[in-house]
A and B are shown apart, each in its own frame.
Chain A
Amino acid sequence: QQQVKQSPQSLIVQKGGISIINCAYENTAFDYFPWYQQFPGKGPALLIAIRPDVSEKKEGRFTISFNKSAKQFSLHIMDSQPGDSATYFCAAIMEANNNAGNMLTFGGGTRLMVKP
């Protein structure tokens, strides 16, 4: 069961443009939504994260927008740079659930290419 759906699968953006990646989730018990960035040959690394009690979180050029009623959240990369070219994964977890089986559920990933 795919609990976190991510789109688009791939994205090409010109340098300086805005990259937008969207995710939708099904389980309303999810209460923590991180984004991971993965470069070729490397493991995913935490980029930015948000909890559903806020609608937006900004860190530098990266912003998460969160719509709790629609069960959707998105990553915006402002002034995209060639160095941002990577695969981005959204994820979700029930942070408040301390029982066994609390797992991070990943979206399918978006391969971003920023053209110079």
Chain B
Amino acid sequence: DSGVTQTPKHLITATGQRVTLRCSPRSGDLSVYWYQQSLDQGLQFLIQYYNGEERAKGNILERFSAQQFPDLHSELNLSSLELGDSALYFCASSVALTAYEQYFGPGTRLTVT
């Protein structure tokens, strides 16, 4: 158990819909990261927040957005969903702004039908 929690575990939704994935980092961790893992693209970094501010961005689609709240939990919002957005979405956290050790949650499996 990494100490990072993600909800929900599974999500099935239809194309065009909007969903919100939630992540609670380990106690004391200020950085939260989001990654997407699909069969054809592998594990891809999406975005990083540190203490409420966006600090690094990967190839995150404009239809996706994220935020980190004052209690440090984070939400990833996915809108106008397409079939290709079906993937595992992982949240990770670390104490620092940089990446020595990142602790990953169990993931949210999103299926878009």
- The answer to whether A and B come from one shared complex is no
Please list the residues of chain B having a beta carbon within 8 angstroms of any beta carbon in chain A: none
